[in-house]
Amino acid sequence: MTLPSQRRPASAPGGDVAVLAPQGELDIATLQEFEAAMRRVLEPLEGPPRLVVDLRGVTFLECCTLGLLVRIRSQLAERGGWLRLVYRPTGRVATVIRLVRLHGVLPPYADVAEAAAAQVGTAERC
């Protein structure tokens, strides 16, 4: 896994949004590094913690990574924030998310701008 892109879009309504765009495989071998990277990009944010993870460059996604994403999502929601994922609705990532029945909890967004600008949905309130 590499992390070529860590940024905050300036145009997000309601404040800063952390963005992380991992590349390659997200599996048990990269889990700790991925979690640390998410926490690093969230640290400087003021206000509710909001994170967009762009998975379009991910070539392999293991279920342990989905467990981490769900846990981070819950932690951010407890603090008034959210986690949103950018991924293709018909790719490998989407297939894994659907297989474990998380597509309602972790729905796809087309790009970072759409994810950052979307209204808070029912899935994010759970």
Rg over alpha carbons for the chain, rounded to the nearest Å, is 13
- Mind listing the pLDDT tens digit for each residue in 11-53? 455 678 899 999 999 999 999 999 999 999 888 888 889 999 9
Place of tokens 């879009």: 9
Predicted pLDDT at 61: 94
The structure tokens listed for 7 are: 């940024």
- Whole-prediction pTM value? 0.87
- Mind listing the pLDDT tens digit for each residue in 60-85? 999 999 999 999 999 999 999 999 99
Element (H, E) at 119: none
Strand residue runs (E) in 1-110: 2-7, 18-26, 50-54, 58-61, 82-86, 108-109
β-strand partners of 50: 82
- Give residue limits of the domains in the chain: 2-125
Cβ-contact 66, 85 below 8 angstroms: no
- Assign domain 2-125 to its CATH superfamily: STAS domain (3.30.750.24)
Give the integer Cα–Cα distance in Å for 88 and 122. Answer: 21
86: how many CB neighbours lie within 10 A of its CB?
A: 22
The answer to whether residue 124 scores a pLDDT higher than 70 is: no
